[in-house]
Amino acid sequence: MSFAFGRSSQRETSAVSVPSDPAQPRSPPAVRGAAAAGLWPAGPARVRVRGVSLPTTPTLDYPLDYTFKVMGLAADDFPEHARRLVAAVVGEAPAERVTVRASAQGKYHSVSVAVILASEEQRRAVYQALHDDPRVVYYL
C-alpha cells in the first residue's frame, strides 16, 4: 500500500511505502533523529522530500568541535553528571566548556557540553550513553 502526498494543483507527488503487514516493524516519525544517533536502524542512504533528494544522516568531518545538549531534572549535581557521561566516552570534557540554563519554572536544567570528537563512532557512543542514563530526560 502507498500514499501520495502533494498539492492538488500540482501533478508531482511523492509516494511513501507502508507495509501491508501490521506486524512488520517500521520506524515511526519520532525516531528519525534516533536513526541519526545510531539508536534506530538507519533507512536508505538518501530520502526524497518534495522531489529533492536529501541525505538521511549528516556528513561531518572529524575531528570536530561538537556540543551535546543534555536535559534533566534540576539538581545541584546534574551538570557534573552530564559532563561525566560525555567524558566517559570522549575522554575529556573540560568543566570550563559546560554551560547550564534553568527552565522558566526551575524544574529542569539544560546542560551544554562542548567537546572535540574524533569519530562518528564516538558521537554515536555518547548519544547511546545519554539514551541509557535514567537521569537524562532529553538530549540533542
Q: How many domains does the chain have?
A: 2
Considering the domain architecture, whether residues 51 and 72 belong to the same structural domain is answered as no
**CATH number where 114 lies:** 3.30.70.260
| 4 three-class SS | strand
Output the pLDDT for position 33. Answer: 52
Considering the domain architecture, whether residues 70 and 134 belong to the same structural domain is answered as yes
**What are the phi and psi torsion angles at 131 (to 5°)?**
-60, -40
Output the pLDDT for position 100. Answer: 97
Output the pLDDT for position 44. Answer: 52
| Mean pLDDT by groups of 10 residues along the chain of 140 residues | 46 45 46 51 62 73 95 96 97 95 96 96 96 96
How many CB atoms sit inside 10 A of residue 89's CB? Answer: 20
Considering the domain architecture, whether residues 79 and 130 belong to the same structural domain is answered as yes
Considering the domain architecture, whether residues 43 and 68 belong to the same structural domain is answered as no
Question: H helices within the chain, ranges in order?
Answer: 32-36, 78-90, 120-132
The answer to whether the Cα torsion of 69, 70, 73, 79 is positive or negative is negative
Considering the domain architecture, whether residues 108 and 69 belong to the same structural domain is answered as yes
Considering the domain architecture, whether residues 77 and 112 belong to the same structural domain is answered as yes
Output the pLDDT for position 50. Answer: 77
Boundaries of domain holding 109? 64-139
pLDDT (tens digit, 9 = 90+) per residue, 102-117? Answer: 999 999 999 999 999 9
